Structure 1
């Protein structure tokens, strides 16, 4: 049986670990707690490279606090602590060379009870899930903690195994059969572990081919689809509710994903979904952090998707004819569940009440809300559930999904994802651009020419914030090729082919829009805003727009003096 070692006191010579007969190191990505001085907390990028060069696998683990210490056990810090520590763990894991597609194991290093698990510890792991995704969350603890984590769906699964690392301590003779690691020898003052390079270590049995090691490529296939942003105004606040279900719907009509989205974007129609799907086109109508108008009083805790052009009366054969869209829906459901930390279990008829992925009829029959029966009695739940299981096992995230839908990005350059300085966003670099993700805005690809301007303005930490939509190609009859525009939280970047990009926003941006954007009388922007006295102005091809408090004036270049440009009626 192959074995791994874990240790915290100091960085042990990799060659000595190999000579002792071990094949892996469980390395800490957590810092030493105040008052401690562990030389291997965290391991360094240089040490990780040395381990790899020696032929050793690496698995990432986190433990900061300690029972009875002024710095309390990590699990006692609840959801907020889980979020905070997962962000720190992921940042360190990526910085020292860990791939995004590998779990991080979080320690429960004491004999906690089921009540302590239910009251506090499980919430800590749900906080971790919200950052890493359930698919990449692991746990260290006694046999019962491992089983509770699997039952509550807060750790990832790999086939018949789960990301659980069982310790012999407090387990007695119990063994968790789904564990990937078992800590068989525990170094204590009374019973020291084996000595390697002058340091005592713990020894762990490796129980599965995939035990979380960095060296495996776990990137998953993504179904081909194009995702469009058509965010409208038909939504409401979730009022603090936790998302627990992904719900499927039929349209009962013949629309396309885009035509249905256009209908949903009219608040007067009183209905909306987060996504519409047909023929490989996905339209995002409502951001997942808002409630769509789909399932009455269940709106606050659900994410909703509608198969455009579908009907509840369809036969199984008709559903199977759109298997590509079923795969896309399964992927979106798993992506949503990983993003928000709810279960990926498929809840099919006969229903039971719980977290997971289901349909509108579940809301009616199981929850007693409304009267709808879609997606209908012939929906191929077996096929759909198989798709969900495939994606859930791989834990594909939003950045991967966006990249798969934007092949123009080219090859990936970033190994995993980088964390933005605010600790909330993520991004990855590709040959021809970047993909940025934030929980409030989702994932969006930024082409390199626009990225140059974005970088000049300070990336997401600057006035633009995060991207809120995909870039748009703009026809330019007078130019050398199509231009580009991309919307961000703080305005829009416009770039004419072959020219520098410029930022348009605020009152000046609104006045330019009223003139007809780049096809209007002012043409393309040729500068960013320029401060002037107590206001600002911005240059355009054929004029400029001045802004001062409570006044804005657009002038078209037409000689001396310039001609004021009238606002269209």
Structure 2
């Protein structure tokens, strides 16, 4: 049995380490995120220049795990900037849970045609995302990579919780942190989905037997599939149960559930579960809601989580 050489797109990769990183503190990695640079447009050495001239500066307070760019001749360069076992400084409160890949020299203003003119660097990003999915199983959804693209009819909407492969705007719109909008409205998510599936299949293909050294036929022994009893049901840990209950009550990052229940009157966050129930009660029993505002205020005071100060 000979294991074939693993397929790989053509690109040049080398390290240019940044001092801007932190420990993940045990946080599972469940997001792989694409980024634009919004600078160095047209620079044939954009990946190297971004890593060497900006991300290596501690005062910049910014980093990614990878920078990558495509030169006019089609050659792709990838700079390893932060070890994926550590958190880069890319997406605010989502740093600890994400791996971040920046296409240097790119902008959210590119058209689909411009993005596809850089399809080789996108393909390399898809390949690296699959390698990271193989390394960190917490990135997988039902045993395979999943691309979480924005809604094609409204690119401000995303419809899936992690784990998955998405972009910086997912953190802004779905997780409710920050203001960034990359990768922009014209990023070719269909191509990303296609190439991610291609590299997953290519990198997980099984080895095939060598042909007989002196001719003849290969005799394949019968395959016996052992009977495995079903695994017992495992309840979530206390921590996981607390997180799940917390997010059901208050939404991700305690920002409510704007895409389910709408925003609060002051527009600062989505509504909590208790506020949505109060809205339903008011709609069903309009004459019996005199004390509902006071009840909501009391529930908010009792249930609203204390907010930790984030770095």
The answer on 1:274 being equivalent to 2:69 is: no
Give the aligned partner of residue 252 of structure 1.
Answer: 38
Q: Which string of whole-angstrom CA distances, capped at 9 and with x for unpartnered residues, describes residues 165-184 of structure 1? A: xxxxxxxxxxxxxxxxxxxx
Give the aligned partner of residue 347 of structure 1.
Answer: 148
Match of 1:233 among 11, 15, 19: 19
Match of 1:323 among 103, 111, 119: 119
Change (3 A) 1:396 1:230: farther
The answer on 1:307 being equivalent to 2:103 is: yes
Alignment root-mean-square deviation, CA: 1.6
Match of 1:333 among 129, 138, 143: 129
The answer on 1:368 being equivalent to 2:176 is: yes
User: Hey, what's the Cα distance between the residues in 2 that align with 1:394 and 1:347?
Assistant: 21
User: Hey, what's the Cα distance between the residues in 1 that align with 2:91 and 2:169?
Assistant: 10
User: Hey, what's the Cα distance between the residues in 1 that align with 2:181 and 2:2?
Assistant: 43
- Residue 395 of structure 1 and its aligned partner are, at CA, apart by 2.3
Q: Which runs of 4+ in 1 moved over 2 A?
A: 394-397
Give the aligned partner of residue 190 of structure 2.
Answer: 382
- Residue 360 of structure 1 and its aligned partner are, at CA, apart by 0.4
Q: Which string of whole-angstrom CA distances, capped at 9 and with x for unpartnered residues, describes residues 421-463 of structure 1? A: xxxxxxxxxxxxxxxxxxxxxxxxxxxxxxxxxxxxxxxxxxx
SS in 1 for 2:34: strand
User: Hey, what's the Cα distance between the residues in 2 that align with 1:306 and 1:384?
Assistant: 15
Give the aligned partner of residue 359 of structure 1.
Answer: 167
Conserved? CA contact 1:220–1:396, under 8 Å:
no
Structure 1 residues 183-262: aligned runs within 5 Å: 219-254=5-40, 256-262=46-52
Higher helix share: 2
SS in 1 for 2:182: coil
Conserved? CA contact 2:84–2:99, under 8 Å:
yes
- Residue 384 of structure 1 and its aligned partner are, at CA, apart by 1.2
Conserved? CA contact 2:34–2:168, under 8 Å:
yes
Query: When the two structures are superposed, what TM-score results if normalisation uses the length of structure 1?
Result: 0.31
User: Hey, what's the Cα distance between the residues in 2 that align with 1:326 and 1:385?
Assistant: 11
Structure 1 residues 7-406: aligned runs within 5 Å: 219-254=5-40, 256-262=46-52, 263-279=54-70, 280-341=76-137, 342-343=139-140, 344-350=145-151, 351=158, 352-395=160-203
User: Hey, what's the Cα distance between the residues in 1 that align with 2:80 and 2:92?
Assistant: 20
Query: When the two structures are superposed, what TM-score results if normalisation uses the length of structure 2?
Result: 0.57
User: Hey, what's the Cα distance between the residues in 1 that align with 2:203 and 2:178?
Assistant: 33
| Higher RCO (CA-CA < 8 Å; seq separation 6+) | 2
User: Hey, what's the Cα distance between the residues in 2 that align with 1:314 and 1:396?
Assistant: 33
User: Hey, what's the Cα distance between the residues in 2 that align with 1:396 and 1:360?
Assistant: 28
Q: Which string of whole-angstrom CA distances, capped at 9 and with x for unpartnered residues, describes residues 93-136 of structure 1? A: xxxxx655xxxxxxxxxxxxxxxxxxxxxxxxxxxxxxxxxxxx
Give the aligned partner of residue 440 of structure 1.
Answer: none
Bigger shift: 349-358 or 381-390? 349-358
User: Hey, what's the Cα distance between the residues in 2 that align with 1:231 and 1:396?
Assistant: 30
- Residue 396 of structure 1 and its aligned partner are, at CA, apart by 6.5
Give the aligned partner of residue 24 of structure 1.
Answer: none
Change (3 A) 1:296 1:275: same
Q: Which string of whole-angstrom CA distances, capped at 9 and with x for unpartnered residues, describes residues 486-506 of structure 1? A: xxxxxxxxxxxxxxxxxxxxx
User: Hey, what's the Cα distance between the residues in 2 that align with 1:353 and 1:374?
Assistant: 18
Unaligned runs of 5+ in 1: 1-97, 101-216, 398-569
Higher strand share: 1
Give the aligned partner of residue 11 of structure 1.
Answer: none
Q: Which string of whole-angstrom CA distances, capped at 9 and with x for unpartnered residues, describes residues 395-436 of structure 1? A: 269xxxxxxxxxxxxxxxxxxxxxxxxxxxxxxxxxxxxxxx
Give the aligned partner of residue 121 of structure 1.
Answer: none
Conserved? CA contact 1:220–1:391, under 8 Å:
no
User: Hey, what's the Cα distance between the residues in 2 that align with 1:244 and 1:357?
Assistant: 9
Conserved? CA contact 1:242–1:301, under 8 Å:
yes
